[in-house]
Amino acid sequence: MNLIPTTLADGFWHWLWFNEKAKSSAGVATIGDELFMYIFWLSVVWFVFLMGLTFYFVVKYRRKPGQKLVRSPAHHTPLEIAWTVVPTLFLVYIFFKGFWGYADALVAPANAELINLKAQKWAWRMTYPNGAESPLSTRFTYTDAQGNQLTSAQDAPIFVVPAGKPVQLRMSSMDVIHSFWVPDFRAKFDIFPNRYTAYWFQADEVGDHPIYCAEYCGDLHSEMYAILRVLPEAEYRSTIDGWAIPWDQGPVPVGKVLYKTKGCAACHTVDGTPNTGPTWSHIWGEEHEFEGGGKAVVDANYIRESILVPAAKIRKGFPNQMVSFQGQLNDRELDALIAYIESLGANPPAPGTGHSETGAETEPAGSN
């Protein structure tokens, strides 16, 4: 059903507003774009008519000195009824069309691929049906006028989804409200810490689509990017199978995977640079001082507590930004992460490990 001629709904005018066509074939995208262009042209017609009339009146009836006023009716009931009823009819239509697209956005087709999405300050995590999570990430790169390479400030995770198949996301947050928005799919829904919300789309073409957080969530709100990569379904399957957690290889490789997939990498480095949180490199056995006094040696218990109750011991110089991972990680996963941190080297570093070349630790090596 075309509301308006294709020439007005597509081509230049569509490019002007949206740059690209919607990349999802879900109803909210198709109906939404169609409705938007319809409202746009409706508005243009009204606006041009009203402003034209205004301009005409202002020119025609401009004040001439000494000219007597001309009487004209101060109201005109049929006219007033007409300009109340006619817009109402348009509005009723717009409402129903909008509701139609919305209703479509609410209910995913039964064969949808179900993926869990978690948002936290300031990272995204998708958990695939097989339990795998994406280890991929990238930075957007740009070239400035001087030819220098620039990058975006944070690593953006890359998530894969199958092409030509509806995908439903079950979304929840670990801290504050976020909002999942893929402009190419023309829809967003908020993500809450106390309940699940849903989102579905169907991307038919292979390609990359940026994900933004649309609900203000703090410092790095504007850096909370991710990329949604649409792959052919077979490739999607083999990719997520390849990401499955390597439980059979012992705790350290598992910990390394979890480090990337559970969002640790957003705040903690493994190369010695301090980030939002302290680095993990060569902290094993180190003595940490805490905000408000007290110190402790980094061991399995300390790490475990810091993951589950981050607010309990806050390391000096790193104001607490971390959320609790209680319920997000089970015991095996915690053990794997602890083993991984231990594998990153003890403090003081054993000679020849080569992990501390940046030397950016807040405390001098060998302070204890």
Helix (H, G, I), strand (E, B) or coil at 24: strand
Q: How far is the CB of 23 from other proteins (least distance, A)?
A: 11
Which of the residues 219 through 238 are near other proteins (CB under 8 A)?
219-223, 225
Q: Which is nearer to other proteins, 147 or 364 (CB)?
A: 147
Q: Which is nearer to other proteins, 311 or 365 (CB)?
A: 311
Residue 10 touches other proteins, criterion: CB under 8 A = no
Among 4, 8, 13, 116, binds other proteins (CB under 8 A): 116
Rg (CA), the chain: 28
Given the DSSP bridges, would you call strands 226-231 and 156-162 parallel, antiparallel or unpaired?
A: parallel
H/E element, 351: none
Helix (H, G, I), strand (E, B) or coil at 197: strand
Q: Which is nearer to other proteins, 262 or 282 (CB)?
A: 262
Residue 255 touches other proteins, criterion: CB under 8 A = no
Among 11, 204, 207, 244, binds other proteins (CB under 8 A): 244
Contact map string, positions 307 to 346, toward other proteins, x by CB under 8 A: -xxxxx-------x-xxx-xxx-xxx--------------
How far is 132 from 214, CA to CA, in rounded Å? 26
Q: Can you name the residues that pair with 296 across neighbouring β-strands?
A: 288
How far is 83 from 312, CA to CA, in rounded Å? 65
- Cβ atoms of 3 and 76 within 8 Å: the answer is no
DSSP per-residue string spanning 82-97: HHHHHHHHHHHHHHHH
Residue 58 touches other proteins, criterion: CB under 8 A = yes
Beta-carbon contacts of residue 9 (< 8 Å; ≥ 6 apart): 2, 3, 33, 34, 37, 38
Of 58, 42, 46, 54, the C-alpha closest to 8 is 42
* 365, two tokens: 């090596």
- Cβ atoms of 101 and 28 within 8 Å: the answer is yes
Residue 118 touches other proteins, criterion: CB under 8 A = yes
Q: How far is the CB of 366 from other proteins (least distance, A)?
A: 27
Q: Which is nearer to other proteins, 210 or 285 (CB)?
A: 210
Residue 276 touches other proteins, criterion: CB under 8 A = yes
Among 200, 203, 215, 264, binds other proteins (CB under 8 A): 215
Among 10, 135, 190, 253, binds other proteins (CB under 8 A): 190
How far is 236 from 162, CA to CA, in rounded Å? 6
Residue 350 touches other proteins, criterion: CB under 8 A = no
Residue 289 touches other proteins, criterion: CB under 8 A = no
Residue 11 touches other proteins, criterion: CB under 8 A = no
Residue 258 touches other proteins, criterion: CB under 8 A = no
Among 106, 206, 360, 365, binds other proteins (CB under 8 A): 106
Residue 367 touches other proteins, criterion: CB under 8 A = no
Residue 198 touches other proteins, criterion: CB under 8 A = yes
How far is 274 from 367, CA to CA, in rounded Å? 18
Which of the residues 14 through 43 are near other proteins (CB under 8 A)?
16-19, 27-28, 31-32, 35-36, 39-40, 42-43
Q: Which is nearer to other proteins, 46 or 368 (CB)?
A: 46
Q: How far is the CB of 5 from other proteins (least distance, A)?
A: 19
Residue 189 touches other proteins, criterion: CB under 8 A = yes
Q: Which is nearer to other proteins, 69 or 234 (CB)?
A: 69
Which single residue is written with the structure tokens 């999802």?
Answer: 24
At what angle are helices 300-308 and 331-343 packed, to 10 degrees? 120
Select from 64-72, 230-238, 279-287, 348-356 the region that touches other proteins (CB under 8 A).
64-72
Angle at 301 between CA 296 and CA 306, to 5 degrees: 75
* First-to-final CA distance of the chain: 74
Which of the residues 137 through 156 are near other proteins (CB under 8 A)?
140-142, 144, 146-154
